[in-house]
Amino acid sequence: MPQVAHPAFLVLGAYATYLLAGYGVDPVLAGLLLTPVFFVFGLGVYQFYYSTFEGRGSDQGLRGIAFFFGVAFIVQVGLILAFGVDQRLVDASYIGTSVEIGEMRIPKRMLVAFGVALALTGSLALYLSRTFTGRAIKAVAQDEGALRLMGANPVRIKRWAFGIATATCALAGALLIIIGPVDPNLDRLYIGRTFCVVVLAGLGSMSGTLVAGLILGIAESIVLTSAGTAWAPAVAFGILLVVLGVRPAGLFGR
């Protein structure tokens, strides 16, 4: 499915967290509270997408991409209209302090974000490999027809998957705003990062995603620390282009 609006939902999640944090809710908790809302939102978006494109079978390639691109753009401009182009940030006890280990100082916000992200990825991986629905989600990507033969409704499975993916955006958005300030134009950068990680990992590989994420993160911070600080934005997209050109199946793809 041509879901290019995903990073825009991520930034939307960050702003929703910002709103809740304004009432004194802890950002991580806010992210958790938002997941059901985003889940339902995701179900709705998919349902709409299905009934207008997939269901009709109307040239879904080009128009589907254009649809999600348009949605992403509306989210971005909507955020600009609602919040302005200013950066927003949240406050919490673990933001702005750090843990000292000898000469090294590690910011607590990073530890929190790292922990939550790891837990989230872990539980998603478990869900996808252990539960029936989870396995069905993996299957629908490979062979829709076969799934239908086995008595599962691929549309329902896809809708469910889309809901979960969108729900993840809420929590990931919360992490995003914990790590640093957020502005509405951020999603463009994350289109690159998201797709870079996914493509580098090979579509559908959960463990690959972790490794790919690590590779990208390390590569970006090496560039930031070294001589070419100003080149950092190109790292994700550069890797993405090389992988797409050389090994479209990704490092861990089958």
Partner 1 sequence: MKRFLLGSSGVLALAASMPLVFQNEYFFFAGYVVLQLIVLATAWNILGGYAGYVNFGSGAFFAVGAYTAVALYKAFALPLGLQILAGAAAAGLLGFGVGMLTLRLRGIFFSIATIAVAIVLETVVLNWHYVGGAKGLPTLRPTETPFFASHTVYLFFVMAVIAVIAVGAARYVETSWIGRGLRAIRDNEGAAECSGVPTLKLKLGAATLSGALMGAAGAPYAQYLSFIEPTSAFSLNHAVNALAMPIIGGMGHWIGPVIGAVLLGTVQQVVTVTISSEINVLVVGVLLVVFVVAAPEGILGLFRRFFPRKK
Partner 2 sequence: MKIRNLFAAALAALSFAAVAQQPIKIGMSMPQTGALGGGGKAALLALQMWVEDVNAKGGLLGRKLQFIAYDDQTNPALVPGIYTKLLDVDKVDLLIAPYGTNVTAPIMPLVKQRDLLLMGNFSFDVNAQIKHDKWFNNAPWGAGALAWGGPFLDAGQKLGAKTIAIMAADAEFAQNLCTGARAIAKAKGLQFVYDQNYPPNSVDFSSIIRAVRAAKPDLVFICSYPAESAAIVRAVNELGVGPTVQMIGGGMVGLQFAPIMEALGPMLNGFVNYNSWVPEKTMANPAVTEFLKRYSVRAKAEKVDPLGYYLPPFNYAIGQMLEQAVTATKSIDSKVLAAYLHKTEMKTMVGNIRFDTVGEWSTPRVPQAQFRGIKGKDIEQFREAGKQVIIGPAALKTGDIIAPFDKARN
Q: What whole-number distance in Å separates Cα of residue 239 and Cα of residue 222?
A: 14
Contact between 70 and partner 1 by CB under 8 A: the answer reads yes
Ordered alpha helix ranges (H), the chain: 6-21, 27-49, 60-83, 108-130, 132-142, 144-149, 154-179, 186-201, 206-225, 232-246
* Beta carbons within 8 Å of 3's beta carbon, 6+ residues apart: 68, 162, 165
Q: Which of 83, 127, 237, 252 binds partner 1 (CB under 8 A)?
A: 237
Residue 119: how many other CB atoms lie within 10 Å: 11
* Contact positions with partner 2 (CB under 8 A) in 202-221: 221
CB of 142 to partner 1, least distance (A): 17
**Nearest distance from residue 100's CB to partner 1, in Å?**
35
101 lies in the site for partner 1, by CB under 8 A: no
10/25 with CB nearer partner 1: 10
Determine the Cα–Cα distance for residues 121 and 114; give it in Å rounded to an integer.
11
- Give dist(CA 23, CA 226) in Å, integer: 40
Interface with partner 2 in residues 157-186 (CB under 8 A): 179-181, 183
Minimum CB separation of residue 25 from partner 2 in Å reads 19
Collapsing DSSP to helix, strand or coil, 176 comes out as: helix
Nearer to partner 2, 40 or 224 (CB): 224
Residue (128 or 236) nearer to partner 1, CB:
236
Establish how many alpha carbons lie within 13 A of residue 217's alpha carbon, considering only the half-sphere containing its beta carbon: 8
In angstroms, rounded to a whole number, what is the distance separating the alpha carbons of residues 162 and 40?
10
- Please give the residues from 213 up to 232 whose contact with partner 1 meets the rule CB under 8 A: 228, 230-231
By CB under 8 A, what part of segment 180-209 binds partner 1? 188-189, 191-192, 195, 199
The token pair at 115 is 């922990």
Which positions touch partner 2 (CB under 8 A)?
84-87, 96-98, 105, 107, 110, 179-181, 183, 221, 224-227, 229-230, 232-233
Footprint on this chain of partner 1 (rule: CB under 8 A): 2, 4, 52, 58-59, 61-63, 65-67, 69-71, 73-74, 77-78, 80-81, 188-189, 191-192, 195, 199, 228, 230-231, 233-234, 237-238, 240-241, 244-245, 248
